[in-house]
Structure 1
Amino acid sequence: MNRNAQAVVLAAIGAVALRVGVTDEYARYVNDWMKWPLVVSGAAMVALAFLAVFSSRYDDSDSSRAVWALLLPVVVAFVVQPPALGAYVAERRANDVAAVQIDKAAVAALPAGQVNDLLVSEFVAYASAYPEVLTEREVRLVGFATHDGDGWYVTRLSISCCAADALAFRVRVDGADAPADEQWVEVVGSWVSGTGEGVGATDPPVLAATAVTPVQEPKRPYE
């Protein structure tokens, strides 16, 4: 593969990293703190590619066509924007409460007389270990709908570093018609006492819904 061909491949890979980093697309793959490393590494690869072209003192023309096929997955990655992980992962990695980090000293009862916004993972953890926090309180959860034989769930994925370590948290919704699978919704309701209690509980907590509103997928789909 000649020097110019190497530079083209390097520039293409760098361009993909730049495109993912400077748009909200990166949030589908990695955590927020990895945005700028992606941008910097992409810019560095593009710069190195230009340096390789302009500093070349020879042109090795012995370049196999098969080598250029390496560009195909790069082009696909540049053109195609896959969606965030969804129901498939949620069905296989649901409600690992041990993975939720909550400072016990900071746990306090939610304010009464208002709708409290919680992450789905927080709601699951509170129901499991600190149910008194949720007792007789109204909460709002945002996530996508998933289904099984027992009904439907408001579900959200959480990542520590990247999509490869995603965990799913889901809350069963009672008292409202099921939206379409993977439809993003905002659910307002109250915890059904006794559901989802105990670390390692096999049954998810239940939310008695008073309102379910379809919403757009957020720019940051993971918690």
Structure 2
Amino acid sequence: MNRPARNLLLLLFGSAVAIATATGTYLNYVRPVMFWFLAASAVVIVVLAVSGMAADIGEARADEDFEDDIGFAGTLTPVAHRPHDDAHGHAHGSGRVGWVLLVPVLLLLFCAPPALDPGAAQRTVVVAATTDESGRAYPPLPPGVAPHIALNDFQNRAVSDTAGTLDRDVSMTAYVTHIDGRPFLARVMIWCCVADARPIDIEVAGTPALPPDGGWVTAVVRLVPGTATRARHYRPIVRLVSDHPVPQPSPPYDS
């Protein structure tokens, strides 16, 4: 791959990152905290690509002026191939592997992959972030009727909270899925990006009239005490109080 091609690839890559950041598509792959890092990276990459292209154009014009000067002088000998031409991006040979980088760039520009969903990994057993069975006292939940809580926080409290903060109705937004025929509310959690994504799920008791698999709901639930045990892989059971369908949240991952 010669230098002009590398600069073009850099420009496409920087543009893809900038578009994903501006449109919010980046939330399908990383946490919101990465916004400014991605924005700054996109700017730097685009500036490098444009400056490289400008340098290539300037060198091409200098080459033309050099050849015009030789021709004007009336030389009868052919102009020798100058050794620095290879450094200007006219080298031949290796570098074909670099074109492979064009594939993810085009994918991100024209058909960005969607966010992960818990159904894609519903057989994976995920232990809560806190599995200290000796427990600890969690801070109280926000006041009000059925305060909203993250699925990961709910699971952690169900496993090891000694303050009884889940002895009340809470609400959560989650993805509906079924595992071995049993209904679950699930969410994917990421610590940094989708490379470390893990599904988290809680079982819903009985046979509630939930939307089909793949649907998102905001559900009001009540923990069934003593169900988030090691034998159950720390998956708590809840009783469904109410639910209503909602669109996929943004960001789609649990906090």
Q: TM-score, normalised by structure 1?
A: 0.85
Give me the whole-angstrom Cα distance separating, in 1, the residues matched to 2:229 and 2:142: 18
Tell whether the 8 Å contact from 1:196 to 1:206 is kept in structure 2 after alignment. yes
Percent identity of equivalent pairs: 27
Which residues of 2 match residues 25-174 of structure 1 at below 5 A?
Answer: 25-56=25-56, 57-58=59-60, 60-62=89-91, 66=96, 68=99, 70-86=101-117, 87-98=119-130, 104=136, 106-108=138-140, 111=143, 114-130=145-161, 132-135=164-167, 137-174=168-205
- Counterpart residue identity of residue 148, structure 2: D
> Helix, strand or coil: the match of 2:247?
coil
Tell whether the 8 Å contact from 1:90 to 1:157 is kept in structure 2 after alignment. no
Give me the whole-angstrom Cα distance separating, in 2, the residues matched to 1:39 and 1:30: 13
> Helix, strand or coil: the match of 1:164?
helix
- Counterpart residue identity of residue 106, structure 2: V
Query: For residues 22 and 42 of structure 1, do their structure 2 counterparts lie closer, same or farther at Cα, with a shift above 3 Å needed?
Result: same
Q: Deviations over 1:152-203 (max 9, x none)?
A: 11111221111111222211113512422221111112111221146x7525
- Counterpart residue identity of residue 33, structure 2: W
**Shift, 1:45, TM fit:** 0.9
| Unmatched runs of 5 consecutive residues or more in structure 2 | 61-87
**Alignment partner, residue 75 of structure 2:** none
**Alignment partner, residue 225 of structure 2:** 193
Range with greater deviation from structure 2 (9-18 or 62-71): 62-71
1:179 partnered with 2:215: no
Query: For residues 93 and 54 of structure 1, do their structure 2 counterparts lie closer, same or farther at Cα, with a shift above 3 Å needed?
Result: farther
> Helix, strand or coil: the match of 2:200?
strand
**Alignment partner, residue 79 of structure 2:** none
> Helix, strand or coil: the match of 2:127?
coil
Tell whether the 8 Å contact from 1:120 to 1:141 is kept in structure 2 after alignment. yes
> Helix, strand or coil: the match of 2:225?
coil
| Unmatched runs of 5 consecutive residues or more in structure 1 | none
Q: What RMSD in Å do the two structures reach over aligned CA positions?
A: 2.7
**Shift, 1:108, TM fit:** 2.9
Give me the whole-angstrom Cα distance separating, in 2, the residues matched to 1:216 and 1:18: 25
Q: Deviations over 1:1-38 (max 9, x none)?
A: 33221110110111111112222111111112211111
Query: If each structure's strand is expressed as a fraction of its own residues, which one has the higher value?
Result: 1
Q: TM-score, normalised by structure 2?
A: 0.75
Tell whether the 8 Å contact from 2:146 to 2:169 is kept in structure 1 after alignment. yes
Q: Deviations over 1:103-152 (max 9, x none)?
A: 956523675x71121111111111111162112x1111111112112511
**Shift, 1:220, TM fit:** 0.8
